[in-house]
Chain A
Amino acid sequence: MPHDRDPAPGSLAPLSAPVFQILLALVDDDLHGYAIIQDIAARTGGEVRLTASTLYAAVKRLLDAGWIEELTERPRAERDDPRRRYYRITRLGRDAARAEARRVERLAAMARAKRLLPPLRPSSAPKGP
């Protein structure tokens, strides 16, 4: 479920999982609601399964924030239910998603520095001497 306040890009406060996942889903394609849910489920191996209610709670907030927008033309109108609406990620949304990914990356780097995670290796070399 998205948090009540969405963070400003660049802050270390995290985006909620549904919000981030929806943005990711829209990065390379404009999708309608059900397709977003399917894309997320497939990408996370079923770990993140949005319900209709959580999806649209997030969609409303994303629309309000201007991170996504509704498409006026229909990309696949001929084989689709005309009631479906398609969403596209905006520049602002792309920035936010990128910022979130960077944030996670930075956090992971901090964890590595403390040896909580093993150091990054160029390739998956076998461990041990």
Chain B
Amino acid sequence: MSAPRTPAAVRAYRALLALLLPPRFRGDFADEMALVFADLHAEATRTRGCRGGLRVLAAELPGLLALALRERRAERAERAHSTTAVPEDKDMLESLLQDLRFAGRSLRRSPGFAAVAVLTLALGVGANTAIFSVVNGVLLTPLALREPDRLVALGEGAEGGAPTDFSTTSPGSFFDWQRQATRLRLAGFTGSEATLTGRGEPERLVGVSTIGGLFEVLGVPPLLGRPIARADEDPSAERVVVLSHGAWRRLFGGDRGALGRTITLNGTPRTVVGVMPASFRFPDGTTEFWAPSRFEPDFRANRDQYFIQVVGRLAPGVSVEAARAEMATIAERLRRDWPLYNGDLRIVVRPLQETVVEGVRTRLFVVMGAVAFVLLITCANLGNLLLARASVRRREIAIRQALGAGRGRVVRQLLTESLLLALVGGAAGLLVGKLFLQVLLAAQATTNLPRADEIGLDPRVLLFTLGVSVVAGLAFGSLPAWQLARGRSTEALREGARGSAGHQWARSALVVSELALAMVLLTGAGLLLRSFALLQRVDPGFPADHILTFDVALRDRNATFFPASVERIAALPGVRSAALVSQLPITGRGIGAWFNRLDRPLPPGVKPTGEVYRVVSPEYFATLGLPLKRGRLLTAGDRRERPAVVINEALAKRYYPGEEPLGKEIYLGAPDNRLFDRGTIVGVVGNTRDDGLGREPLPTVYIPLAVMPDWPFFSYVVRTAGAPGPVAAAAREAIRALDPNLPVRNVRTLDAVLAESVAPARWSTTLLGVFAAIALLMAGLGVFGVLSFAVTQRTRELGIRIALGAAPASVQRMVVGQGLGLVGAGLALGLVGAFALTRLMASMLYGVAPTDPVTYAAVGAVLVAIAVVASYLPARRATRVDPIIALRAD
């Protein structure tokens, strides 16, 4: 009926006409209406594009519904009054309603079947709904910024580095980029925490320093007041701040009078000039304030402090490619102009959304794939249930066919039944999904995801669930419907209620695919489980038990606070020793600087490599339990005048292979901007895996606190004699005694820090494990169902065998063998699938290859065991067949 080039909207309109209009009106006008609609649609598409076409369709709906209702009523009234019958069976809506009513009745007649089907489906659809909500919130929903697809992130990449190798830049470079770029408008920002005082307890706020007009690039209007403008960044401008919606509600109770009031951040009063809407989360949901940066002129030219994150808005009509080309030209110029700093500069330009969800994409897609498998298994299982039901219903169908029901009508009826099931199951699945999502969020399983606060059930998720349910209904309903409708009615009538073995192959095929899918899922889960176990066994480089940690940041310079406080804490009862470190181990790279050997200077024009450094108090190594490998540890006698530094083994291996590092002199930073002039390496300590347990240790330089007395932020590391918890209150008190205005943050044990570092791996492992368990259960049920059914069907044959003297054990073996045959086929197929698919998760694995034979063998064994258990019950039933009854059956 539709030509190949008929637009979808026109076809949809025609379908609606056929569905909704009563027969007479439809006969008179439907063709013409479709013609007129096609004209309207073509016109709208021509003038307003694809959207216009859809709008025309939407505009038709209210009128069409009203028309259909009125004409239907009119025709029914007419039918009631006239003696000539209007042919009723041509009316699709009527027959659909009839089908639905019939389906409802027939499902009510077998409540057990309906309940099992709906519950299975609810589980499958629910898992999909929950995980899709996460994927939707994190990956699919555009960032809540103006025209987010025109926003890009820019960073420095090393020559030949991976495109994901992406880092911050320096003020000097940033302002050069900003000045020279014409195809995109750039702005920068950097994280900035601040202590809020003057409003009760001092507290630490997470914020952002805007650089070069960030709000102008992001383009989100504030809820109240004004955003931060470039002019605010002038060192002589009034000090202002813009609050997040959350901070505004918390600090000012959502009072509009907050504008113009001042808050004290880091001891400096700032005027609140704006409040952002709740949807504005930049760079993420934790940000509570935005304040303009103020760089003095010489700092604006600085080229060795890398801390600026850069975003850009593409000019109209400019593609990411074009922006990349321009930035490449700029990079080339800067390489020439600043060989020392930018000798290997490469500017990376990537869509902003991509960088936000960096690293979780694979994880989410693997989990999404896993739930999709669960759904497929659900469908296969339901298909099986329906097939079983179908063979019982063959007689009923045969009678209906014999009475004149057409094949199409029978198929439609059966599909309506499975669709009804799917929709009820889908609705239940929505509830399950909501519950599941709540559990996920409550367990903080997603807190390590970016944009976790944007996850929820939105219309797109609802649409997804509806779509999944309908597709599932069609998928598991089509096979039995086709099978049933194909059957010859006379045969079915003759066969009686036993049903036929005719579609045993279909059921076996379904079970085999279930097993194969379960095998793939189990393999994925098994690989993750194994790599997680390996990850947990990785030695972080120090004993993490009995260590309490917390963070303190100073508001202004105070060289005595940290040494004094750590001394006080070390003296507390229950504390063995206490120390300071600028960044806790296992929590990431942290700050780095150029590493320079004084004994082997680099040739001019060659940029040194940046290496990680940590500022520590002398007791750090002993407190943490970091072993000394060579030389000596830092002591209180190491003063600023004669800097002594300690390096770790990884650094010794990289810079002093086969050499004695002790006594060698180094400095960190740029030649004209050094952290210290010359430091002597006095000791080498063991490695810590700061970049994550699964990563190689980073080369690290440990600098004594005495050398960098103005360092403003430290984590305390407190080794306790007993449980770390009780010491926390006393430690807090000790800090408060020195300065009541300093907030103590992130009080936790080092064990917790360690556990948190593997949280992403734990998240995916747990989820995949749960899904694999569901898959296993369903596959097991599938095997059980098929074998039970086969045994029932073969009752007569088994009875004859037993009557002829077959031993019960051999009958049992035969049935179990049949089960094992199914598993064998499933395993073979699953093996191929697992081989192909587990490759995709290679980046999530640690210490295990995607083809790890141990995992494959274990998974195979589990599946075989499940199959044996699942076949055992039907097999036992087979041996109990009483020949007499079996022969008399039917």
Contact = CB atoms under 8 A, between A and B. Distances in A.
B35 A56 contact: no
A37 interface: yes
A81 interface: yes
Contact of A57 (B28, B34, B63): B63
Contacts of B653: none
Interface in A42-94: 49, 51-57, 59-60, 81, 83-85
Contacts of A84: 32, 35
B31 interface: yes
A7 B449 CA distance: 66
B60 A83 contact: no
Contacts of B66: 1, 53, 57
Nearest to A49: B59
B35 A51 contact: no
Contacts of A4: 70
B56 to A, nearest CB: 8
A95 B32 CA distance: 27
B35 A33 contact: yes
Indicate the member of B56, B60, B63, B66 with the most A CB atoms within 10 Å.
B63
Contact of B31 (A37, A55, A59, A83): A83
B35 A1 contact: no
Contact of B63 (A1, A60, A81): A1
B29 A34 contact: no
Interface string B15-39: 0000000000100110111111101
A30 B56 CA distance: 25
Contacts of A52: 13, 33-34, 36-37, 40, 60
B694 to A, nearest CB: 61
Interface residues of A, number: 19
A60 B72 CA distance: 13
A34 B35 contact: yes
- Residue from A1, A49, A57, A59 whose CB has the most chain B CB atoms within 10 Å: A57
Contacts of B31: 83
A75 to B, nearest CB: 16
Contacts of B56: 51
B60 A51 contact: yes
Most buried by A among B13, B70, B71: B70
A107 B56 CA distance: 35
Interface of A is mostly: helix
Contacts of A56: 29, 32-33, 36, 67
Given A60-B25, A60-B29, A37 B63 contact: no
A128 B569 CA distance: 91
A33 B28 CA distance: 14
A82 to B, nearest CB: 11
Contact of A53 (B28, B35, B64): B64
A84 B32 CA distance: 7
A87 to B, nearest CB: 10
Contacts of B70: 4, 57
B36 A55 contact: yes
Contacts of A57: 63, 66-67, 70-71
B36 A37 contact: yes
Interface in B496-554: none
B33 A83 contact: no
Given A1-B66, A83-B32, A84-B32, A53 B60 contact: yes
Nearest to B42: A34
Contacts of A51: 37, 40, 56, 59-60, 63-64
Nearest to A84: B35
A34 B67 contact: no
Nearest to A85: B32
Nearest to B13: A52
Contacts of A81: 35
Contacts of B13: 52
Interface in B53-99: 56, 59-60, 63-64, 66-67, 70-71
A81 B36 CA distance: 11
A91 to B, nearest CB: 23
Interface string B197-217: 000000000000000000000
Contacts of A55: 33, 36
Given A1-B63, A1-B66, A53 B25 contact: no
Interface string B726-743: 000000000000000000
Given A53-B67, A84-B35, A34 B40 contact: yes
A52 B37 CA distance: 6
B31 to A, nearest CB: 6
A34 B60 CA distance: 14
A13 B282 CA distance: 60
Contacts of B35: 33-34, 81, 83-84
A60 B28 contact: yes
Contacts of A37: 36, 40
B23 to A, nearest CB: 14
Nearest to B58: A51
Contacts of A53: 33, 60, 63-64, 66-67
A57 B63 CA distance: 8
A4 B67 CA distance: 11
A77 B308 CA distance: 72
A65 to B, nearest CB: 14
A59 B29 contact: yes
Contacts of B28: 60
A115 B28 CA distance: 49
A56 B17 CA distance: 12
B25 A33 contact: no
Contacts of B39: 34
Contacts of A54: 63, 67
B390 to A, nearest CB: 41
B74 to A, nearest CB: 10
A118 B60 CA distance: 39
A66 to B, nearest CB: 16
A123 to B, nearest CB: 38
A37 B60 CA distance: 13
A33 B36 contact: yes
A105 to B, nearest CB: 29
A37 B63 CA distance: 15
Interface string B91-119: 00000000000000000000000000000
A52 B57 CA distance: 10
Contacts of B36: 33-34, 37, 52, 55-56
A84 B33 CA distance: 10
Nearest to B66: A1
Contacts of A1: 63, 66
Contacts of B25: 60
A129 to B, nearest CB: 48
A49 B56 CA distance: 11
Interface in B422-447: none
Among A1, A34, A59, A81, find the residue whose CB has the most chain B CB atoms closer than 10 A. Answer: A34
Given A51-B56, A52-B60, A56-B67, 11 more contacts: A33-B32, A37-B36, A49-B59, A51-B37, A52-B13, A52-B33, A52-B37, A54-B63, A59-B29, A60-B29, A83-B31
Top 6 nearest A-B pairs by Cβ distance? A53-B63, A53-B64, A34-B39, A33-B36, A52-B37, A54-B63
19 contacts: A1-B63, A4-B70, A33-B35, A33-B36, A34-B36, A34-B39, A37-B36, A49-B59, A51-B37, A51-B40, A51-B59, A51-B60, A52-B34, A53-B60, A53-B63, A60-B25, A81-B35, A83-B32, A84-B35
